[in-house]
Amino acid sequence: MKISGIFEKKKALWSFEVFPPKPTADMSGVRQTLKELADLSPDYVSVTCGAGGTGNRRTAEIASVIKELGIEPLAHLTCINSSAADVERSLGELTAAGVTNILALRGDRVPGAEESKDFRHASDLAAFITERGDYDLCGACYPECHPESASPEEDIENLKKKIDAGVTHLNTQLFYDNEDFYRFSERLDKAGITVPVQAGIMPLVKKSHVDKTIGLSGAKLPGKISRMIARFY
């Protein structure tokens, strides 16, 4: 089922995100984790891919397991280091695994890696996928603005390009200040963007995770949360 169709039936969706293990790792632990997540009846489970798009085959493999468990998979697909032929191949693997829902991402830049000549932005990837099948496309958005956007206004214009390219709903980068999300929602309203937006949440369960999570995401940590962490950890 298309995730956009689930949004038509429910106002608020909830889901999990899982990461593929290394190519040489055993899948038994992943299968057990997915079974436990399926018991919680999420609306869908998303599956990331490796840096620079590596690990796409594992993404398809895990998506297939999610499908077997009766949950809809959302597969991440990046393009920053991929040619059009690479993306065609990945789409074929995902389609063979029964995937119709794809999160179209540019992906993070990898130092020293050659960047794609076919795709500069996630909107380019979304348009490419839209032309090649009946996929349901999700896009990423950033309540605190994409780090490469010159302004909130430019950030919104880039989101419009994704939607024009075929994106039907958005998932936010994680954030810890609700005010950022509220202001972002207001910018979407003013711009006439009405597609569903799902908030991304990453619980901070260990102090050792805090710096890594903030460093990777670029999200800011409000003073109130920083003080709570200092007090209890």
CB-based burial, 119-157: b 16+ in 10 Å, e otherwise: bebbbbbbbbbeeeeebbbbbbbbbbbbeebeeeeebbe
- Report the mean per-residue pLDDT for the chain: 92
pLDDT at residue 54, rounded to an integer? 52
pTM for the model stands at 0.93
Residue from 152, 187, 174 nearest 219 by CA: 174
pLDDT at 55 over 80: no
Instruction: Write down the pLDDT at residue 215.
Output: 78
Name the amino acid, one letter, at 17: E
Identify the band that residue 49 occupies on the pLDDT scale cut at 50, 70 and 90.
confident
Mean pLDDT of 147-155: 94
> Of 35, 63, 33, which Cα lies nearest the Cα of 47?
63
Model confidence at 50: pLDDT above 70: no
Q: Which fold has domain 3-201?
A: TIM Barrel (3.20.20)
Query: Which among 120, 201, 132 has a CA at the least distance from the CA of 161?
Result: 120
Phi-psi region of 133 (alpha: psi -120 to 50; beta: other; left: phi over 0): left
DSSP state of 70: T
Q: Write down the pLDDT at residue 168.
A: 98
Mean pLDDT of 170-177: 95
- DSSP states along 170-209: EEEPP-S-HHHHHHHHHHHHHHT--S-EE-------SHHH
38 close to 63: Cβ distance less than 8 angstroms: no
Cα(160)–Cα(174) distance, rounded to whole angstroms?
20
pLDDT tens-digit readout, 174-194: 999 999 999 999 999 999 999
pLDDT at 194: 97
| C-alpha separations of 224 from 155, 177, 215, 228 in Å | 27, 10, 19, 6
pLDDT band at 225 (very low <50, low <70, confident <90, very high): confident
pLDDT value of position 190: 97
More confident residue, 9 or 228: 9
Nearest to 48 by CA among 89, 12, 83, 76: 76
Instruction: Parse the chain into domains and list their residue ranges.
Output: 3-201, 204-233
**pLDDT per residue over 92-120, tens digit each?**
999 999 999 999 999 988 888 888 999 99
- Percent of the chain at pLDDT > 70 equals 97
Kindly list the catalytic residues.
17
